[in-house]
């Protein structure tokens, strides 16, 4: 099971990278993998509408719908 980080921690990590700090250095200093930080940044870009994908708000609704479809 993956570690769950508080939303504030994720937001701070994303803000550091968006301000110009390198991903690899930021990840190392925060004690997370650079791949994890890349995923957070990608999801942030989706949530901002910069790229297409399932937003954070839509994800739970989509999971619930898929579960309901499986039950039927």
pTM, entire model: 0.79
The C-alpha atoms of residue 49 and residue 6 are separated, in whole angstroms, by 22
Q: Which two tokens mark 43? A: 């999801």
Give pLDDT, residue 5.
93
Judge whether 37 lies within some domain. Answer: yes
Judge whether 33 lies within some domain. Answer: yes
Tell me the per-residue pLDDT of 41-59, one tens digit each, with 9 for 90 and over: 999 999 999 999 989 889 8
Expressed as residue numbers, the domain containing 41 is 7-71
Give pLDDT, residue 4.
86
Q: What is the CATH number of the domain that holds 38?
A: 1.10.10
HSE-up (13 A, CA, CB side) for residue 31: 3
Judge whether 2 lies within some domain. Answer: no
């Amino acid at each position: 099971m993956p570690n769950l980080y508080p939303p504030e921690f994720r937001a701070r990590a994303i803000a550091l990278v968006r301000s110009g700090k390198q991903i690899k250095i930021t990840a190392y200093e925060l004690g997370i993998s650079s791949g994890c930080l890349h995923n957070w940044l990608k999801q942030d870009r989706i949530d901002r509408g910069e790229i297409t994908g399932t937003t954070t708000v839509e994800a739970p609704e989509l999971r619930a719908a898929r579960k309901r479809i499986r039950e039927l």
